[in-house]
Amino acid sequence: MRKIYVFDTTLRDGEQSPGVNLNTQEKVEIALQLEKLGVDRIEAGFPAASPGDLAAVNAVARAVKNASVMGLARSVEKDIDAVFEALKGAADPAIHIFIATSPIHRKHKLRMEKEQVLETAQRAIRYAKKYFSRIEFSAEDAGRTELDFLCEVTALAVREGVSVVNIPDTVGYMNPQEFGNIFKTLKENVPGIENIQLSAHCHDDLGMATANALAAILNGADQVEGTINGIGERAGNTALEEVALALATRADYFQAQTTLNLKEIAKTSRLVSKLTGMVVPGNKAIVGANAFAHESGIHQDGVLKEKTTYEIISPETIGLKDSKLVLGKHSGRHAFREKLIDLGFDNLTEEQVNAAFGKFKDLADRKKDVSNEDIIALLEEKMIETPEVFALEQLVVSFDSHATPTARIRLKTQKGIVETQSEGNGSVDAIYRAIDALTGEEVVLDDYTIKSVTDGTDALGDVHVVLKQGDVSAQGRGVSTDILEASARAYVDALNRLVDKRNAPPRSRRDRDNVTLV
């Protein structure tokens, strides 16, 4: 079996998803989980974008011990300097340099002739060599680059001593046959290509990112780049969990494997979804809530007789546990702690376990059956500790289908306990108006989603909101058996994060997007 290296760019290309803006603590949390998942390389960000980005990449670099941490740079000295600075303290640092090579990008974005692109790339690689023993070079928009020029660019990068040449389908334009052919052509025509690794980086604009990455692997790619849950610019990137499971499930066909710890996939997916606020669609391959659900009678009958009739992957493969009830109102702290370890929450402090146990007891009082999903939702509601500027003390809602809903809110703030009542177009609107009045924060509700954690009328409601205030956006999550309470908790959580972000060093999308491209 050939080893396929996994290059995770959830923290860089994934963070370029519209509306996503991870803070340093969130980036480190995800990076440590990626390390557990066993990815080989973590692209932690684009340090030249802002001092905040640089600091976040540095925090990841210092935290991760068992994966190479990388930073992205355009082919300019100041970007390379920023990556060098950001990766100080990394166990295994490496740089990722790119320049666009396609005719469209050369003409309209770079305003460079082919020769200038080659010279710029050469200069950048030589400059980076002063700092880094491992360099990955990307020919941005390689998919739409003339094949003979792409061979020329790759040959130059190989001659200059890079370790990896990455072939991005930047705009998701390729189909598997074409994309595979690029790798075959490079393998056959570039002198010295056997001394470097070839990498595939695909986007999903036409829904072919995973298929294209697999076609690249079949044609000699040694590394696949992508993100968890396939998040990323526009339609996103190759979903790494899809590639890993395709290779594992069809090892007979691909004869290639990643060394990922597949049992960490479900947990990694949940964490990325929670911290980015990007909800995983139910029908998403591998990690969607329905990926292992059998609905039709014929399918259920088949699965009951023999799982493999309709199941090509077992849920346990990606670390999903059976969700049958195991804990209840009378369960003690010891059983609860064992359960947490079983569910993968094995690094909680005593304080966190105690807080979680309190929440579990509250829930067990309100809900008859407490499932694994309930416990996970409770735990994930507050995995990142944000300073609590505001805390929900009490919520009273009055709803009558013939009258205007009202909400009375009591909040703990830094000035003490405050209380007010507001009306709204609906109960949630009334709650949010009351919270706005109490906090004095002017925010826009950019997104609101609600989902049920399990089945049944007493299921936990899991609310996710995104709030915006000027350039700063923050997401929050609230979980409760009552969806109005969950809505209020999510809003207050988002407000706390927003205040925290506002006070943090700047690394807003505006900073990132204002960086002029070469």
The CB-of-72 to ligand KIV minimum distance in angstroms stands at 6
Closer residue to ligand KIV in complex, CB, 296/516: 516
Applying the rule CB under 6 A, the residues between 7 and 66 that interact with ligand KIV are 13
Q: Which one, 142 or 498, has the nearer CB to ligand KIV?
A: 142
Residues 186-205 that bind ligand KIV (CB under 6 A): 201, 203
Query: Residue 93 Cβ, how far from ligand KIV at the closest point, in Å?
Result: 18
Of 15, 35, 140, 222, the one binding ligand KIV by CB under 6 A: 140
In degrees to the nearest 10, what's the CA dihedral of 302, 308, 310, 314?
120
Helix (H) or strand (E) holding 243: helix 240-249
Provide φ and ψ at 413, rounded to 5°: -125, 180
170 contributes a contact to ligand KIV by CB under 6 A? yes
Task: Choose between 172 and 220: whose C-beta lies nearer to ligand KIV.
Answer: 172
Give the span between the Cα atoms of 466 and 444, in whole angstroms. 8
Minimum distance from CB of 349 to ligand KIV (Å)? 37
- Of 32, 31, 11, the C-alpha closest to 20 is 11
Q: What is the CA 203 to chain-centroid distance, rounded?
A: 15
Which of 7, 84, 98, 360 forms a contact with ligand KIV (CB under 6 A)? 98
DSSP bridge pairs for 96 = 72, 136
Please work out the total of residues on this chain that contact ligand KIV, with binding judged by CB under 6 A: 9
CA–CA dist 104, 108 (Å, integer):
6
Closest distance to Zn ion from the beta carbon of 225 (Å): 8
Q: How buried is 506 (Cβ within 10 angstroms: 0-12 exposed, 13-18 middle, 19+ buried)?
A: middle
The four Cα atoms 108, 111, 114, 120 give a dihedral, to 10 degrees, of -120
Nearest to Zn ion by Cβ — which residue?
13
Query: 482 burial class (0-12, 13-18, 19+ CB within 10 angstroms)?
Result: middle
Q: Which does 337 bind (CB under 5 to 8 A by kind): ligand KIV, Zn ion, none?
A: none
Q: Considering beta carbons, is residue 16 or 268 the nearer one to Zn ion? A: 16
Q: How far is the CB of 142 from ligand KIV (least distance, A)?
A: 8
Binding positions for Zn ion, 114-153, rule CB under 5 A = none
Most distant CA pair in the chain, distance: 78
Which of these segments, 86-94, 154-162, 166-174, 322-330, binds ligand KIV (CB under 6 A)? 166-174
String of DSSP letters for 136-175: EEEEETGGGS-HHHHHHHHHHHHHTT-SEEEEEETTS---
SS3 95: strand
Q: How far is the CB of 13 from ligand KIV (least distance, A)?
A: 5
In terms of CB distance, is 11 or 486 closer to ligand KIV? 11
Window of 165-173, 243-251, 334-342, 370-378 that interacts with ligand KIV by CB under 6 A: 165-173
The two structure tokens encoding residue 158: 């190989």
Which residues of this protein are in contact with Zn ion, per CB under 5 A? 13
Q: Tell me which residues touch ligand KIV (CB under 6 A).
A: 13, 98, 138, 140, 166, 168, 170, 201, 203
